[in-house]
Amino acid sequence: MDTCTNRRLWVDWLIALLILALALAVYNATLTPSLSYKSPDGNELATIPYILGLAHSTGYPLYTWLGKLFTYIPIGDIAHRVNLMSAVLGAAGVAVLYGIVLLITGRRLVAAFTALLFAFSLAFWSQTGIAEVYAPNVFMVTLTVWLLLKWGEEEERVNEATGQRGSSPPVYFLAFCLTFGLSLGTHLSNLGFAPAFALYILLVNWRMVYRRPWVLLLGATLFILGCLQFLWLPYKAYTLNDPLMRRNAPRTLEGIYRYTLGAFPQMKFAFPLQAIPDRIVLYLYLLQQNFGLWGILLGLYGMMEMVFRDVKKFYLFIGMYLVHVFFFIQYRVFDLDVFFIPAHLLYVIFIGYGVYRLVEYLFLLARKVAEGTEGRLWRVALNVGLALLLAFPVAGEVRANWEANDYSEDMAINDFYENVWEILPQGSILIGRSGVFGYDMFYWRLVYNVRPDVLIPMLEGPRPSPETIAEVGPIYTTQPPDPQRAGRGPWSPPPDLLKPGSWYIPVLLGQGGTSPRGHYISLTLYRVSAEPPDLVVQQARPEHVVGQSLGGLELVGYDLEEGEVSQGGRLHLTLYWRVRKPERVLIATSLGDTALEAHDLGLGNLQRYVKEYRPPRQGIVVEDYLLVVPSHTPLGSQTLSVGLQKPFRFGEEAEAEEVIELTEIVVVDKNESLS
């Protein structure tokens, strides 16, 4: 390798590292501090690596092992460290994408633009801040493709130098085979790329089939070696507590198939042929969300240019792209946008190639215009102008997508459960969801062994009987009472677990979170009781008299035990209401600009209480509960307010329509309050 080539290589590595550092800095700034509802599987995927257990189908062995390595990093809690894996490997995938586009185009500026355009696209960025498989999978996919392209480049170089096919060392090819097998442990859908990989290999050097069969045989062996990671499934099958996963536990060859390739049959090819046009339109909408109309057009132009100028790579990328899109447009799942991330990755390569060809034409035109001028100042000026021009869409993308992907203050689950463990009585029972959706609760026991005296039935193997539950101690649950839906889902507590007619009395209300579908997830701890709460009284003597109307209600007054609270702590609030005009509204509380929670009048029990006990019409409704103060609440004096809010609607921002300011609360740092 000559000095000039060596210098170019070092420059390329430096640029790739700078891209990695920039992407990682942004991802880390928007990283989720711990647990989150931003992914339906995220809390499970934050827990499983630490305990080296078995995740839901398809098992994700490589993800689990890589996650375990990240749990040794002494930063934040375990969930934060697994979230950090998504940020680090996502940024690494972006850096490798730079290398891929550089191999195709040879232009650093275009390669850097393409990598950063993908780095800050809406869907991919959303997965770099949470514990999920998609960002690590992008790293594995890009690494696999880069190794394959490097092998193809070596084959072409040796052929041009010697005129003989298949004489280059097979190091890159063998590394590609092993990496491809390992990549199935971050997402099994990568197997669909195999036909495109095989076609590219044959297009580059089909003669190796009979001239160097040992290379193919060794490559197949290394691929199988990578696939042997799925022996982890039967080895760890005994750790499953998810009822749905246990039905197809991978203890036999048939079970392994059902857990992997045969998993989720109800989601695959779930739409009739007449629905496919609508599904394609949906995909195009998601593509437009990530790259805009200009990106779609540039990608189509890049495809057209590549098919005439670099046909082998075109068949590789278009083969990967079409297989992936074809499979997932027929996949029935609510978070479909994240499943298309590999397709977005491939499409952005076409965008990059389109930009590359336009840049080539621009340089050709500039060369003709500048013909006869001395020096190369025009080249410098043109490159600077291009850099500024290409920086605009990337900067605009960061600005447009930052708020949607900024999870840095998402501490609702941690704040809620830290208070739950503090207030639960000794020897109590805590009932919640089971399986993959129960890890917001299971995490604390499995990782930190918090409150071992508290029985968590959904975690302890087979579901207990109602008789067993009744003999243990006071019962609490995080599941809202809904007799019509009780026990319907595989992750719900069984309908007969608790005594019929029990009262679910809210004790602790948290800030809640938002699911990937935009649905609000409430965080409430209920005490299960055979006796009703003292919900309506004839007379009340609140500590603080208010006497103000709020819509059809009158806030008679309130009690508040403390005027100071730590970030992540709790307030004990009692509100006294007189109903003037019955209507369906939510009572919303806030501290300064921080929304705390919203609940139905009477904390969900008023309608039943009125029906069964017929209290006096002029009675006063008493709401007595603990209120979690989020960790990100600003320090200092904050106004505690209560207001009315319309019931939540899908996709709408909830805002209090009328507000009454109650009092000032001093918010202090948690560490200072402990000291």
Backbone angles phi, psi at 164, to 5 degrees: -120, 130
pLDDT of residue 479: 85
| Confidence tier at 419 by pLDDT (50, 70, 90) | very high
| Same domain, residue pair 60 and 174 | yes
Contacts of 558 (CB under 8 A, 6+ apart): 542, 543, 544, 546, 573, 574, 575, 576, 642, 662
Residue-wise pLDDT for 626-641, tens only, equals 999 999 999 999 999 9
Close Cβ partners of 654 (under 8 Å, ≥ 6 residues apart):
520, 586, 588, 595, 598, 645, 646, 648
8 Å CB contact between 80 and 88: no
The residue type of 68 is K
| pLDDT band at 586; cut points 50, 70, 90 | confident
Please report the pLDDT score of residue 433 as a whole number.
87
Residues 28 and 160 in one domain: yes
458 & 353 share domain: no
Mean pLDDT is lowest, of 225-229, 606-610, 648-652, 665-669, for 648-652
Per-residue model confidence as pLDDT tens digits over 57-91:
999 999 999 999 999 999 999 999 999 999 999 99
Same domain, 507 and 452: yes
Stretch 392-397: mean pLDDT, rounded?
95
Q: DSSP alpha helices (H): ranges in 106-207?
A: 108-119, 122-127, 134-162, 171-183, 194-205
Residue that finishes a domain, picked among 507, 531, 555: 531
Same domain, 527 and 567: no
Supply the pLDDT for residue 63.
98
Residues 240 and 96 both lie in one domain: yes
For the cut 50, the answer to whether the pLDDT of residue 484 exceeds it is: no
Count of domains observed in the chain: 3
Say which CATH number the domain at 584 has.
2.60.40.10
Is residue 497 exposed (0-12), middle (13-18) or buried (19+ Cβ within 10 Å)?
buried
DSSP percent split of the chain into helix, strand, coil, nearest 5: 55, 15, 30
Q: Which residue range is the domain that position 597 belongs to?
A: 536-675
pTM of the model: 0.93
Question: Which are the contacts of 310, defined by CB distance < 8 A and separation ≥ 6?
Answer: 104, 353
Q: Does pLDDT of 486 surpass 50?
A: no
Same domain? For 429 and 335 the reply is no
Interval 527-579: pLDDT, tens: 999 899 999 998 889 999 999 998 889 999 999 988 899 999 999 999 999 99
Give the model's pLDDT for residue 482: 63
Q: Look at residues 515, 512, 519 and name the one whose alpha carbon lies nearest to residue 651.
A: 519
494 and 548, same domain (yes or no): no
446 and 397 within one domain: no
Q: What is the DSSP string of 276-308?
A: HHHHHHHHHHHHHHHHHHHHHHHHHHHHHHHHH
pLDDT at 169: 76
Any residues with CB less than 8 A from the CB of 524 and at least 6 apart, and which?
Answer: 478, 480, 506, 508, 509, 510, 599
Tens digit of pLDDT for each residue in 142-188? 999 999 999 999 888 877 666 555 566 789 999 999 999 999 999 99
Q: In the structure, what pLDDT confidence band is assigned to residue 470 with cuts at 50, 70 and 90?
A: low
Strands 513-514 and 520-521: antiparallel
Instruction: Indicate if 393 and 415 belong to the same structural domain.
Output: no
Is residue 179 domain-shared with residue 258, that is, in the same domain? Answer: yes
Indicate if 452 and 542 belong to the same structural domain: no
**Which among 366, 385, 405 is the end of a domain?**
405
Which amino acid is present at 529?
Answer: S
CB atoms inside a 10 Å sphere around CB 188: 19
Instruction: pLDDT band for 652, please (50, 70, 90 cuts).
Output: very low
Last residue of a domain, one of 531, 547, 578: 531
Give every CB contact of residue 428 below 8 A, 6+ residues apart in sequence: 453, 454, 455, 472, 473, 474, 475, 476
ω into 105 cis (within 30 of 0): no
Segment holding 665, helix H or strand E: strand 658-668
Q: Residue 615: what pLDDT?
A: 86
Q: Which two tokens stand for residue 556?
A: 């008679």
| Span 226-247, pLDDT tens digits | 999 999 999 999 988 887 888 8
pLDDT at 275 over 80: yes
Query: Closest Cα partner for 468 from 429, 424, 425, 525?
Result: 429
Per-residue DSSP letters for 74-87? Answer: -SS-HHHHHHHHHH
- Looking at residue 650, its pLDDT comes to 42
CA pair distance 132, 125, nearest whole angstrom: 12
Q: Which residues pair with 597 in a beta bridge?
A: 589
- Asked if pLDDT for residue 483 goes beyond 80, the answer is no
Q: Which residues contact 523 (CB under 8 A, 6 or more apart)?
A: 412, 413, 416, 478, 509, 510, 511, 512, 513, 628
Look at the block and give the residue holding tokens 């390569």.
349
